[in-house]
Structure 1
Amino acid sequence: MSSYHVHVVDADRASRDGLARYFEAHGLTVTTMESAADLLRRMHRQRPDVVVMDAALPGQSGLQACRQLRGEGDRVPLILLTERNEEIDRVLALEMGADDVLGKPCPMRELLARVQALLRRANVAPGQPMLAMAPVDIGALRFDIASRSLLRDGCIHVLSTVEYAVLAELVANPGVAVSRERLLAASHGRSDGLLPRAIDVAVMRLRKRVEPDPTHPRFLQTIRGHGYMFVPALAAAERQRPQRYISRCSPAFSPPSTT
C-alpha cells in the first residue's frame, strides 16, 4: 500500500490531520489540503491514486470540484464525505461523479476499506472486465471476471452488462456491505436514471443463477436499508455452522468486547 498516494481535502485541520495519520499508519502516502482550489491546482503536478474530499468545502465545494474534474474527463478515484447524509445528498454526489459517498463523521476503518476497494479496481471502467481479478468460486459455479461469465460443469453462461458489473463489484469486496448507490454507479452509465429497483432486479436474477435456494441466499445477502454483500463459500459455511453453547458460568465463557 505504501506506493499509493491519497489526497485528503478538508477545511477542518483536525479532521484532515486525523485522517492523514490513520492512512499513513496503514501504509498510504498522504497529502493534505484545505480547499478544492488547492486540489485542482496541484492535481497534475502531484497525481494522487485516490482523493478523499469533504463535499461542503468553503468557496468551491467538493461537489463542484468533483463535477469539474469529471467534466474535464479526469477519472481519478474519488470519495466524497458529507455531513448531510440523506439519500438525496448521496445520490447527488454520485451524479456529480463521485465513486463513493460516506456520511460524516464515518468510521475510519470503513473509509480505509472503501479507499482500498477503489485502489483495487482503479482504471477499470463500469461494465468492463476486471482482468486483474482471478476467477471466483461461488458454490458450484465459477465467476470468470475476464470473460464476464458463470461456469458450471463445462457450461458457460454470459452475464448481461448490469448483472456482470453488480456481481463484479460485490465479489471484489467480499464481506463488505455495498450500497445500492455504489452498485448503481458501477453498473449504469451517467446518462441512465438512478433507479435503485434496477439493482434489486439484477441481484434477484443473479441469485437465480448462483444460489442453491434463491429464497434463502447464502452468497448474495441483503443488508437491510443499505444494499448487498458477497459472502464467500467458506464464510457462508461458517455462518451456517451450529454454534456451541457456552454457559456464562463456564470458565470458557468470555464476555463480548466493548471496544
Structure 2
Amino acid sequence: MAQTATLLVVDDEPELVEILQEYFQGKGYHVVPALNAAAARLQFAQRPPDVMVLDIHMPGEDGLSLARWCREHHPRVGIIMLTTAGEVVDRIVGLEMGADDYIPKPFDLREVLARVKGLLRRLEDGEPPAPSHGRIRFGATELDLNQRKLRDGAGNEIAITSMEFDLLKTFSDNPNRVLNRDQLMELAHNKGWDVFDRSIDLRIMRLRRKIEAEPEKPEIIKTVRGVGYMYVSDCRR
C-alpha cells in the first residue's frame, strides 16, 4: 500500500471517534469517521477502507453485524474490534464474525497504532506477485496465493480474513510438522495475539469449518493434544 492507508473509525461515541481521528491523522493516515453502522456502509459504497476499527456495542446495527457484512462483501478489509475490558464473549463472537484483531477498552492510542500497523503489514504481504504454481489445495478447497483468496470446488470464493490466509499459508509451508501456538504466532507474522488467550484456537476452528469435510473430525489440520496443530493433508502446489 504505497498510498496513504485509509482508516474507517466506527463508534457511537463522538469524543472517542474524534480522538482516534486526530491521532491517526497526525500519524499520516487518512481517517474517515462514522458514528453508526449505516454511516459506515455509506463510506464503503464510496471507497472501502484499508482497515476498519469499530466498536461492538452501538445503537441499531451493532459492530458484530457490520463486521460479518464487511467480511462477506469486502474480505480484504482489515477489521479491528473495540471491546469492553473483560468481555470474553464479545471477543470470541467478534473473532467468529471475522475480525482480525480486538482491543479492549480503555486502550492506549499507541497500542491501537501498533495493531493497525501490524494488520496493514499482513495485508501488504499479499500485494507482491506470488511465485508460479501459487495455488494450494486444502481438501476440496483451493488457496490462491496471488489473490489471497480461498475457493471451493466449484470456484466460488470463501470469505477469509487476512489472518486466516496467513495461517493457511503457514501450514502449507510446514506440512506434517507440529506447530505450537508460539510458532504459529511468529510464522503468521501476528504480533497482536496474546500468548495466553485462546484466539488462535478460535481461528483454527473457523478455518476447519471452511476447509474440512467434517469440521468436528478434522483431517487437514489436526490437533496434537498438549502441543499444537499439524497440517497433514496431501496439499499440492
34-43 vs 117-126, which moves further = 117-126
Normalised TM-score (structure 1): 0.57
One-letter amino acid of the structure 1 residue matched with residue 98 of structure 2: G
Would the alpha carbon gap of residues 43 and 73 (structure 1) be closer, same or farther in structure 2, given more than 3 Å must change?
Answer: closer
One-letter amino acid of the structure 2 residue matched with residue 85 of structure 1: G
Instruction: Specify which of 183, 189, 194 is matched with residue 167 of structure 1.
Output: 183
Instruction: Tell me the residue number matched to 1:127.
Output: 167
Deviation at 1:76, TM superposition (A): 1.5
| C-alpha distance in 1 between matches for 2:224 and 2:55 | 29
| C-alpha distance in 2 between matches for 1:82 and 1:26 | 23
Any gaps of 5 or more consecutive residues in structure 1? 130-144, 150-157, 206-259
One-letter amino acid of the structure 2 residue matched with residue 184 of structure 1: D
Deviation at 1:199, TM superposition (A): 9.4
| C-alpha distance in 2 between matches for 1:165 and 1:159 | 16
Could you tell me whether the CA contact under 8 Å between 1:52 and 1:81 is conserved in 2? yes
Instruction: Tell me the residue number matched to 1:27.
Output: 28
Q: 2:201 aligned with 1:184, yes or no?
A: yes
Normalised TM-score (structure 2): 0.62
Deviation at 1:34, TM superposition (A): 0.7
Instruction: Tell me the residue number matched to 2:102.
Output: 101
| C-alpha distance in 2 between matches for 1:119 and 1:185 | 22
Would the alpha carbon gap of residues 148 and 114 (structure 1) be closer, same or farther in structure 2, given more than 3 Å must change?
Answer: same
One-letter amino acid of the structure 2 residue matched with residue 120 of structure 1: R
Instruction: Tell me the residue number matched to 1:201.
Output: 227
Could you tell me whether the CA contact under 8 Å between 1:166 and 1:186 is conserved in 2? no
Deviation at 1:112, TM superposition (A): 1.2
| C-alpha distance in 1 between matches for 2:34 and 2:52 | 11
Deviation at 1:87, TM superposition (A): 1.6
Could you tell me whether the CA contact under 8 Å between 1:91 and 1:181 is conserved in 2? no
Q: 2:50 aligned with 1:49, yes or no?
A: yes
Taking CA–CA contacts closer than 8 Å with sequence separation of 6 or more, which of the two structures ends up with the larger relative contact order? 2
| C-alpha distance in 2 between matches for 1:35 and 1:199 | 43
Please report the RMSD computed on the Cα atoms of aligned residues, expressed in angstroms: 3.3
Instruction: Specify which of 133, 143, 148 is matched with residue 173 of structure 2.
Output: 148
Instruction: Tell me the residue number matched to 2:62.
Output: 61
Could you tell me whether the CA contact under 8 Å between 2:8 and 2:33 is conserved in 1? yes
Could you tell me whether the CA contact under 8 Å between 2:92 and 2:202 is conserved in 1? no
One-letter amino acid of the structure 1 residue matched with residue 64 of structure 2: L
Deviation at 1:85, TM superposition (A): 3.2
1:150-207 Cα shifts (integer Å, max 9, x gaps)? xxxxxxxx455x8399635325246x653534423554416257xxx9796328x9xx
3-12 vs 100-109, which moves further = 100-109
Any gaps of 5 or more consecutive residues in structure 2? 127-161, 210-214, 217-222, 231-237
| C-alpha distance in 1 between matches for 2:74 and 2:3 | 27
How many aligned positions are there?
176
3-state SS of paired residue (1:44)? helix
> What percentage of residue pairs aligned between the two structures are identical?
30
Would the alpha carbon gap of residues 98 and 173 (structure 1) be closer, same or farther in structure 2, given more than 3 Å must change?
Answer: closer
Instruction: Tell me the residue number matched to 1:240.
Output: none
